[in-house]
Structure 1
Amino acid sequence: MALLLAFGIALFILIISYVYFKRQLCQKTNGLPGPKPQILFGNLINSGILTGKKSFHEVMHQYQQEYGDKFVFWFGTYPILVFCSLEHAKAIFADRHTFEQSPLFLPNFELFCPHSIVTFSGSKWKRHARVMMPMFKRAKVIQHLDVIAECADRFIDQCLIADQVHTNLVRQCQTVTMNVIGFIAFDYDLGAEMNSKTKVMFEDFISVVVNVMFFSSLPQWVAKLYLKLNWKYQKTNRFLRELMENIVEQEQNNQDKAGEQERPKNLISSLVSSLNEQANDEQVSSGLTRAEMFDEVLTALVAGFETTATGLAWAIFFLSKNPHVQKRMKDELYQNDLLITDDVQSLPTLTKEKIDALVYCEFVIKEVLRLAPIASVTTRIALQDTVVDNTPVRRGQTVLIGMNNINTDARYWHHDDPKRFIPERYLHEDKDHHPSALLAFGGGHRACIGQDLAWLELKVVIIRLMQRGVTFEDTPENTGGYEERLTCFPKKMAIRVRFDRAR
């Protein structure tokens, strides 16, 4: 016991010493205002983020009101320069030679996926992007409309019970979006794998990722030690690696049978086709190693499980609060000969042309992505000294763009209250809003590579829900709020589901 206590004291002294000397060596805050940081935790505790009192985007809005469009936020021992205006975002996103993806975008994520595209920059990022990005473009994902619709039908038939209040829609949204990424990216039925054990595994993995992200205020060896001693993470990691190996093995067998004439049709086929253990960063077209391929598969699975599911959950929440929006969407479907019925066999096939004709439905998805704090901020690191709005930014400093701040700023959104859910705004003053005033997927060359798939997936699933006559009704317990995880989900959802009569 005495030895353990001595070890604990020594560890505490080492951590405090590390924080002290690191802070002494830290770059200055460039003359920007901001809340006073606390030892070790910076502004993570006094802002209410670590205690769960406030979400990250709520804190960014609060500090913008207190300090203006530019301020400093201490993420543990790291001072981050925060910029919250449209002009700031345009300048930072446009200068790809000065600003690159920051490690603080997903702190410590390299401990889980050291070979993932989201952790790379420079030539390594380019090599991975040449393999990954083409498969997520709209021209590719639009071919999977039927698959997305079928996954939505599975969601409706298996998860939505008429005249019942649903309190677990967030988890069910994760299931449907994982099914979509499974079929589209891997040609793999993850729905068959989504038993209770698999759900728990993914949830445990995300939980550990979130915890370790906040360890970025400490030396990285602390996070490594935590992962090494965390038996639940070790079990989860082994399970996910086995799942990925099964997916890769299945695709390799398919390619062996098909021969070399077959062109890659999805992400996993593209990844397996690019397999090259001699891949290096000197040749940007030299493919991926097996370790890199596994990490890209895991990253795609995490994204499919968490991010798009967040958007779908927020869409359902907003629709439950706005019955007139659901009615108008269904009227538009009816006007475009997409009859509303619960009989799947009689539903008209969704096509690209029919999807594009549903303008009001497009407005609804835009409004969801504008308001929902799925990814409320993004970060960049300065590759060289520069100036942003008369503020010097030194090489190696991290800047943060408050995307949700811009998305709801009255300076750029003029129709009614920009914090209200009003899809009709795109018919009025906000019809020609500035492109950078709606930042749902970041911007510049490091914008989310899966944004075309996420946009299409959200639109098709919501359209299918309306086409099947689903109506989401509000309840007194449906209070919303924010639950900060890898993304920010609605905290309390209690929504009654009803089905309309066919028309």
Structure 2
Amino acid sequence: MELIIVATLFVIVITLIYIYLKRAYSPSPGDLPGVKPHIFFGNLINSGIWTGESAFHQVLLDYQHHFGDKFQYWLGSHRCLVFCRIEHAQTIFADRYTFDNSPLNNSNFDLFCPNSLLLLTGAKWKRHMRILLPMLKLAKIIGHLETIVQCADRFIDQNLHSGQIHRDLLSCCESLTMNVIGFVAFGCDFDIHANSQIKKAVHDFESYVRWLSPLPWIFRWLGKIYLKYNWKYQRASRLFHGLAQKLVEEEQNKQSEMENEPPKNLIAALVSSLNEEANDEQVSSGLTSAEIFDEILTMILFGYEGMPPALLWFIFFASKNPQVQQKMKEELREHHLLMTNNLKCVPPLTANNLSSLTYCECVIKEVLRLAPVIEYTIRIATCDTIVDDVKIHRGQNVFIPLHNINTDARYWHHADPQQFVPERFLAEDKNHHPLAMIPFGGGHRACVGEKLAWLQLKTIIVRMMQRGLN
């Protein structure tokens, strides 16, 4: 008898759960258009994201083509409202109190770096920004220009040779950008190469981040167990902790020898802010050691996966458009910056001559327009509101597909916005809308390392052209 009762209750519970999930995923009369989602997986399967058949930015472009500028996309178990016009982005970015950072921006990243700036909101976010932002402003990082040039030269000498067939440029670009981060942010030569321990650890760490990030939150407890007993991940984590501890201790020794010295790089600012009693009630109370570690790890991961794709896209576009390479070299020749056989007879790259390279700047803008560092951004509504006659309830996620806006013909007029045409920034698209191209995100949650990324990308690309590489 008891067995029958238990079995009956089990069936009832399963039925109720099924009915609840069915209702939760069923469209309502006021919903935006979209593709019917699967339970738990949303549109990840039927859009081809989960199977790898489609890139996410292409899916959002296809949805916009079918459903218009406003539609819904289910990211796993989360229904997201997608807005594709500049006016939408302007409204959402401008209202920082109604739209804040969504957990979906870096889903499950708190399993790895719970104290990272990428995840924080409110007073804690402000406390971290107070430490990080001053060191990542252009006025600070421009002093590292010579170091970036040296890293670029090492990258070129080791990897780019005339007539060479490049089969693993992504790995080489990852090593380059991580080395730049090592020097600029931490004053340390990571000496990253393909088989280095740090490179392997970062690769392993980043692969787990990518694997766990798109999973619906119902699997979070599985993720915690998986990471806890995964020896490969634990080995990478131990190496990172050791590296972070070493960086902190070395900086503490420097600061003990030179008292009252203003911070010159990110690690100096982080160590100067060390305060195990730090709290959100006092914005200027500093960071704890756990918070410092997570910020160090985030910066290294950014160096690993942030800029290498953009650098690879430049190499791709330049190889497909030799006339663009020629124009870049002609501009360098006009400014007496094009090298031939003797590197020493050319003036060094400076902030002034970099800023004078107008066409090179246009090429970099066009690369980032078609291959933005951040393809989309997500905000969460902190209260009920309305955007373009769409009711948004508190707790709902709002998507802004930046790639859609970057390639929208309504905002780009010189040439087909799907084509690589750097000259557009010298013609009628020169004064494009500020939000028509925001490759690093927008609003108060834009990428904090934008200035460093931009300087790094421009310097490396100019250096490659300066040395006459094809």
2-structure distance, mates of 1:394, 1:27: 17
In the alignment, which residue of structure 2 is the partner of 1:224?
A: 224
In the alignment, which residue of structure 2 is the partner of 1:500?
A: none
After TM superposition, list the pairs within 5 Å mapping 1:323-342 onto structure 2.
Answer: 323-342=322-341
After TM superposition, list the pairs within 5 Å mapping 1:437-452 onto structure 2.
Answer: 437-452=436-451
In the alignment, which residue of structure 2 is the partner of 1:187?
A: 187
After TM superposition, list the pairs within 5 Å mapping 1:307-346 onto structure 2.
Answer: 307-346=306-345
In the alignment, which residue of structure 2 is the partner of 1:83?
A: 83
Relative distance call for 1:45 and 1:408 in structure 2 (3 A) is same
In the alignment, which residue of structure 2 is the partner of 1:410?
A: 409
In the alignment, which residue of structure 2 is the partner of 1:100?
A: 100
2-structure distance, mates of 1:202, 1:19: 41
| Superposed displacement of residue 261, structure 1 | 2.3
In the alignment, which residue of structure 1 is the partner of 2:3?
A: none
Q: Indicate conservation of the 8 Å contact 2:178/2:192, yes or no.
A: no
Which amino acid in 1 is paired with 2:232? K
Q: Does 1:200 align with 2:200?
A: yes
Which amino acid in 1 is paired with 2:444? H
1:285-317 deviation digits (Å, cap 9, x = unpaired): 111000000000000000011111121111111
In the alignment, which residue of structure 2 is the partner of 1:382?
A: 381
In the alignment, which residue of structure 1 is the partner of 2:460?
A: 461
1:312-356 deviation digits (Å, cap 9, x = unpaired): 111111111111111111110110121323533333211111011
Q: What is the identity percentage for the equivalent residue pairs of Structure 1 and Structure 2?
A: 54
In the alignment, which residue of structure 2 is the partner of 1:115?
A: 115
1-structure distance, mates of 2:15, 2:136: 45
1:109-160 deviation digits (Å, cap 9, x = unpaired): 1110001111000100000000011111111111111011001000001111
Q: Indicate conservation of the 8 Å contact 2:383/2:394, yes or no.
A: yes
2-structure distance, mates of 1:416, 1:192: 41
Q: Does 1:364 align with 2:359?
A: no
1:74-132 deviation digits (Å, cap 9, x = unpaired): 11111011111111111100011100011101101111000111100010000000001
After TM superposition, list the pairs within 5 Å mapping 1:268-279 onto structure 2.
Answer: 268-279=267-278
In the alignment, which residue of structure 2 is the partner of 1:475?
A: none
Q: Indicate conservation of the 8 Å contact 2:377/2:401, yes or no.
A: yes
Relative distance call for 1:222 and 1:359 in structure 2 (3 A) is same
Query: Please, what TM-score do these two structures have when normalized by structure 2?
Result: 0.94
1:366-399 deviation digits (Å, cap 9, x = unpaired): 0011000432100000011000110011101110
| Superposed displacement of residue 194, structure 1 | 6.1
In the alignment, which residue of structure 1 is the partner of 2:8?
A: none
1-structure distance, mates of 2:291, 2:217: 27
**Farther off after superposition, 381-390 or 340-349:** 340-349
Q: The residue matched to 1:214 in structure 2 has which SS?
A: coil
Q: Does 1:302 align with 2:301?
A: yes
Relative distance call for 1:306 and 1:161 in structure 2 (3 A) is same
| Superposed displacement of residue 193, structure 1 | 7.0
Q: Indicate conservation of the 8 Å contact 2:441/2:447, yes or no.
A: yes
2-structure distance, mates of 1:27, 1:109: 29
In the alignment, which residue of structure 2 is the partner of 1:494?
A: none
| Superposed displacement of residue 22, structure 1 | 6.1
Q: The residue matched to 2:141 in structure 1 has which SS?
A: helix
In the alignment, which residue of structure 2 is the partner of 1:428?
A: 427
In the alignment, which residue of structure 2 is the partner of 1:482?
A: none
1-structure distance, mates of 2:432, 2:129: 30
In the alignment, which residue of structure 2 is the partner of 1:215?
A: 215
| Superposed displacement of residue 19, structure 1 | 8.4
Q: Which runs of 5+ in 2 are unaligned?
A: 1-12
**Farther off after superposition, 76-85 or 16-25:** 16-25
Q: The residue matched to 1:100 in structure 2 has which SS?
A: strand
Q: Indicate conservation of the 8 Å contact 1:57/1:376, yes or no.
A: yes
Q: Does 1:351 align with 2:350?
A: yes
Q: The residue matched to 2:411 in structure 1 has which SS?
A: coil
Q: The residue matched to 2:214 in structure 1 has which SS?
A: helix
Moved over 4 A (4+): 14-30
Q: Which runs of 5+ in 1 are unaligned?
A: 1-13, 472-503
Relative distance call for 1:22 and 1:286 in structure 2 (3 A) is farther
Q: The residue matched to 2:283 in structure 1 has which SS?
A: coil
Q: How many residues align?
A: 458
Q: Does 1:68 align with 2:68?
A: yes
Relative distance call for 1:270 and 1:359 in structure 2 (3 A) is same
RMSD between aligned residues: 2.0
Q: Indicate conservation of the 8 Å contact 1:78/1:217, yes or no.
A: no
| Superposed displacement of residue 36, structure 1 | 0.7
| Superposed displacement of residue 17, structure 1 | 8.6
**Farther off after superposition, 106-115 or 231-240:** 231-240
Query: Please, what TM-score do these two structures have when normalized by structure 1?
Result: 0.88
| Superposed displacement of residue 199, structure 1 | 2.2
Q: The residue matched to 1:365 in structure 2 has which SS?
A: helix
2-structure distance, mates of 1:44, 1:342: 53
1-structure distance, mates of 2:214, 2:17: 16
Relative distance call for 1:463 and 1:46 in structure 2 (3 A) is same
Q: Indicate conservation of the 8 Å contact 1:19/1:218, yes or no.
A: no
Q: Does 1:173 align with 2:180?
A: no
1-structure distance, mates of 2:339, 2:297: 37
Q: Indicate conservation of the 8 Å contact 2:99/2:379, yes or no.
A: yes
**Farther off after superposition, 221-230 or 74-83:** 221-230
| Superposed displacement of residue 15, structure 1 | 11
Q: The residue matched to 2:261 in structure 1 has which SS?
A: coil
2-structure distance, mates of 1:199, 1:465: 23
After TM superposition, list the pairs within 5 Å mapping 1:464-483 onto structure 2.
Answer: 464-471=463-470
1:235-289 deviation digits (Å, cap 9, x = unpaired): 211122212112212211221222x221100000000000011110011111100
Relative distance call for 1:100 and 1:342 in structure 2 (3 A) is farther
After TM superposition, list the pairs within 5 Å mapping 1:247-266 onto structure 2.
Answer: 247-258=247-258, 260-266=259-265
Which amino acid in 2 is paired with 1:36? K
1-structure distance, mates of 2:21, 2:221: 15
Q: Indicate conservation of the 8 Å contact 2:172/2:194, yes or no.
A: no
1-structure distance, mates of 2:416, 2:454: 24
Q: Indicate conservation of the 8 Å contact 1:404/1:439, yes or no.
A: no
Q: Indicate conservation of the 8 Å contact 1:57/1:373, yes or no.
A: no
